[in-house]
Amino acid sequence: MLFSCSTIPKGITAVTQFDKTKYLGKWYEIARFDFRFERDLNNTTAEYSANDNGSIKVVNKGYNTRTNKWKSATGKAKFVKDETIAMLKVSFFGPFYGGYNVIALDKDYRYALIAGNNLNYLWILSRTTTIPAAVKTEYLQLAQKAGFNINELIWVKHD
């Protein structure tokens, strides 16, 4: 049986001329939609490093405000097409992959807007714990135009 699983929402395009090496490293989560794997987490970060096989190691970490404990998850990401297109699939649980699509990125790789495989997953990332107001406005406008309900965003505390 053949089936296809879309890794990016319809009508949205991933960043092209993507440089994987520049993207690697630590990112701070500025905002996200709530979903069960990150529920109650603040001080959330994502760290990306290259694996020998060309995939990307992903380490997500956050502080659970309910249990007062750090939580982390390690997974892997693979490019869906060419490595110059920021359209990836990421897995934390064996053979199950979800979409990870960089849909906006500044030229210096400091700020990123990430879409999942549907309109229920959205993240704003930064190399620091804050983003400039102009970048925030631009990314919110892009997300809203793409069909995301930006009023649902959770703004992450970094303390």
Note whether residue 13 is domain-resident: no
Q: What pLDDT shows up at residue 4?
A: 44
What is the percent of the chain where pLDDT is above 90?
87
More confident residue, 11 or 123: 123
Q: What pLDDT shows up at residue 93?
A: 83
Note whether residue 9 is domain-resident: no
**Are the C-beta atoms of residues 115 and 99 closer than 8 Å to each other?**
yes
Q: What pLDDT shows up at residue 37?
A: 87
pLDDT tens by residue, 47-63: 999 999 999 999 999 99
Note whether residue 63 is domain-resident: yes
CATH of the domain at 33: 2.40.128.20
Note whether residue 8 is domain-resident: no
> From its phi and psi, is residue 145 left (phi > 0), alpha (psi between -120 and 50) or beta?
alpha
In which domain, by residue range, is 26 found? 20-155
Tally of domains in the chain: 1
Note whether residue 128 is domain-resident: yes
Note whether residue 3 is domain-resident: no
**Are the C-beta atoms of residues 102 and 11 closer than 8 Å to each other?**
no
- pLDDT category at 46 given cuts 50, 70, 90 is very high
Q: What are the angstrom distances between the C-alpha of 75 and each of 18, 42, 61, 140, 149?
A: 21, 20, 12, 28, 27
pLDDT tens by residue, 60-112: 999 999 999 999 999 999 999 999 999 999 999 878 889 999 999 999 999 99
